Amino acid sequence: MPGIITLAHGSGGRGTYEILESLILSHLSDPMKRIEGGVGVDELDDGAAIPLPDGKYVVFSIDAYTVNPPFFPGGNIGELAASGTINDILMMGAKPLAILDSIVVEEGYPISELRQITNSMLEILKRYDIKLIGGDFKAMPRGNLDKILITTAGMGIAEHLIIDSNLAPGDKIIISGTIAEHGAAILAAQEGLKVEGRLKSDTEPLVDLMLPLLENYGEFIHAAQDPTRGGIAEVLNEWASKSNLLIRVSEGDVPIREEVRSFTELMGIDPFNLACEGRAVLAVDPRVAEEVLRFIRDLGFSDASIVGNAEESSRYGGNVVLKTVAGGLRLLERPTGSIVPRIC
Amino acid sequence: MPGIITLAHGSGGRGTYEILESLILSHLSDPMKRIEGGVGVDELDDGAAIPLPDGKYVVFSIDAYTVNPPFFPGGNIGELAASGTINDILMMGAKPLAILDSIVVEEGYPISELRQITNSMLEILKRYDIKLIGGDFKAMPRGNLDKILITTAGMGIAEHLIIDSNLAPGDKIIISGTIAEHGAAILAAQEGLKVEGRLKSDTEPLVDLMLPLLENYGEFIHAAQDPTRGGIAEVLNEWASKSNLLIRVSEGDVPIREEVRSFTELMGIDPFNLACEGRAVLAVDPRVAEEVLRFIRDLGFSDASIVGNAEESSRYGGNVVLKTVAGGLRLLERPTGSIVPRIC
């Protein structure tokens, strides 16, 4: 793979997969990619897992957070860095226990703004009693970094792992809330649009959704992911591809706020490709899917909806098919760099 | 603390401590800083630790690596990112088992160079059978990041933790090799000096030093640290301060290559403040210190030396005193931003 790094390599979609495969995955033997019996780097899941002697798993995840602007309607990069990693741990089926943070700041950045960012991060950790057990702090010379980059590593314990490749035929796909809120809010901020609260990031840790869900329905949740880079189009395509199943989605059932829909239409962007930072996509055993949906709504996630299902298909296995509001069918493609707007 | 972030905040010395205290540590109650019974963020040690039911500890660490230039005499940022985090795990007394990496690259960066960097990182992991269990990859728009930033989180298991605050009166201070090599090599590269192999980074994982040492003398190693940012002056001051002991160092016993000494004299820099990336500073029980020194030298670390000792002192507790080659005594001060040359 000659050439140079493009933004598409960081889109979270096919470009990211290809560069990871070329630079990392293809150079490691299978035993080098995981602790035996655990989940390794080649699963490309939300995190890694290491088996414990008692049958549980320690789950780890790492993620670098850059966002432009670092303060946006509905949150800031500190909230994002805490929520994102907490959500990655949760989506592996684990209870988040601790994080480590690495903050890199550009020389000249106002300490008052940095304080708002760290306060937001700490507030989230305190709310859910997730310990900050270690960290790193560095400054880079002016011009060498655009403001701030925060990397968080999270750690949790799972009774049962949720592995995205466990998607099973018949599974119902549930989305926990309205989509594309984060992506739309960031894009609007970048465009300088005065949206006055009509577009607002959904950045939020999903502890209050996932812990009760894991406790009551853990074994029935076959796959779980937070649809960040590449949005739900990316998540559903990853799932379909890993399990070689066809996923059908009914566009009219996908919860989306009217303001977000209008904004994406105005911008000519597919909201299915836009990041959420406080939503879960779940694949649930069909025998309990309706019950799980009621349970989720009763937890306060009132926009949660069943949006589709997974099925075997010799012809379309590995794909995601969208039934449009107009009644047509179209492939919901895996996002590539050119169609995912850059939000960081 | 009003104002703006300066490079001194990222020096690893007093400035870093002050901003971490102001932004993070002072806002967290004690139980929020650690998993109960473990080592938390406020220890400011090489990593964090979580107790296991069998009496062992899981050790974690995170570190962001930036270095200008990313390729330098003796290594590159990939080797550095692997070695640095492996060393942090080792210095906590743990055997490194796995790492997670987060790579952030500037748009336009040559993939051929990135491949050399990831190859170097993977080579080190393979050499020591340390698994790469997870990761993240992002690209930032051109101009928003100077080339590349790699954050690594490491994980290992310790039978006995090595906590820097356990420094005891009488302990002998051992340095495993010549100092200031990394810092000098980077500075020379930044100055554009043609040093033709005379200055070369010491970047190296210390697995072959620390694992045998832990196995044979684990309980006698009271403190261990790799003297990175701020050099051995920073490490020794941290230790003296945490234990309120006086550390005496004999300048003439500190191993330093003649080329490095000449270079630092030329530049007007104190080599005690310059980073190593492949050295350990150890505080060893005096009853076995000479034996441990021979053991270390027999492992191939032929420049290892006993350079001083720790002692109680009502007047100078918390300080580091250097006996100079000329026979005088001076305080070896904790580095501050203004005296630590910027190497990243």
Same domain assignment for residues B138 and B171: no
Chain segment B235-250, per-residue pLDDT in tens: 999 999 999 999 999 9
- Domain assignment present for B215: yes
Residue where one domain finishes, among candidates A104, A126, A158: A158
Which run of H or E residues covers position A289? helix A289-298
Q: For residue A25, list chain B residues with Cβ-Cβ distance below 8 A.
A: none
Provide the number of structural domains found in chain A: 2
- CATH number of the domain enclosing B97: 3.30.1330.10
Mean pLDDT score of chain B: 94
Same domain, yes or no: B113 and B14: yes
pLDDT score at B193? 84
Cα-based distances in Å from B323 to B172, B267, B331: 15, 22, 9
Q: Are residues B187 and B250 in the same domain?
A: yes
Chain A contact present for B140, CB below 8 A: yes
Q: State which residues form the domain around B151.
A: 7-158
* pLDDT at site B12: 80
- Mean pLDDT of successive 10-residue stretches along chain A, which has 344 residues: 85 86 96 96 93 94 95 96 98 98 97 98 98 95 96 97 96 98 94 84 98 98 96 96 97 97 94 96 98 98 98 96 96 79 64
Q: Give the pLDDT score at A335.
A: 87
Asked whether residue B74 is domain-assigned, the answer is: yes
State how far the Cα of B341 lies from the Cα of B344, in Å rounded to an integer.
Answer: 9
Q: How far is B168 from chain A (nearest CA, A)?
A: 24
Cis peptide before A51 (omega within 30 of 0): no
Q: Is B272 helix (H, G, I), strand (E, B) or coil?
A: helix
d(CA A96, CA A58): 10
Residue where a domain stops, chosen among A109, A136, A158: A158
B222 touches chain A (CB under 8 A): no
Q: Are residues A173 and A138 in the same domain?
A: no
CB pairs under 8 A between A and B: 268
Please count the helices (runs of H) and the strands (runs of E) in chain A: 8, 14
Is omega for the bond preceding B96 within 30 degrees of 0, making it cis?
Answer: no
Taking only the tens place, the pLDDT of each residue in B90-108 is: 999 999 999 999 999 999 9
> Do A178 and A202 have their domain in common?
yes
Please give, rounded to a whole number of angstroms, the shortest distance from the CA of B220 to a CA of chain A: 25
Pick from B131, B158, B185: which residue ends a domain?
B158
Q: What is the mean pLDDT of residues B196-222?
A: 95
Out of B134, B139, B153, whose CB is closest to A5?
Answer: B139
Element housing B265 (H / E): helix B258-267
Beta carbons of A135 and B45 less than 8 angstroms apart: no
In A95-114, the residues whose Cβ lies within 8 Å of chain B are: 97-98, 100-102, 104-112, 114
- Any domain includes B344: no
- CATH assignment of the domain containing A205: 3.90.650.10
Closest chain B residue by Cα to residue A114: B23
* Residue A25 and residue A154 in one domain: yes
Hey, are the CB atoms on B107 and A63 less than 8 Å from each other?
Answer: no
Indicate the residue type of B267. M
> Are residue A238 and residue A326 in the same domain, yes or no?
yes
Question: Does the residue B337 lie in any domain?
Answer: no
> Which value, in Å, is the radius of gyration of the alpha carbons in chain A?
19
Same domain for A168 and A266: yes
B191 with B152, same domain: the answer is no
My answer on whether B154 and B207 are in the same domain is: no
Inter-chain touch A100–B6, beta carbons under 8 Å: no
Asked if the ipTM is above 0.90, the reply is: yes
**HSE (CB half, 13 Å, CA atoms) of A261?**
8
Rounded to an integer, what distance in angstroms lies between the CA atom of residue B50 and that of residue B58?
5
Determine contact: B141 vs chain A, CB below 8 A: yes
- Would you call A100 helix, strand, or coil by DSSP? strand
Q: Give domain status of residue B340, yes or no.
A: no
Nearest to A205 by CA among A138, A130, A137: A130
- Say what the pTM is: 0.95
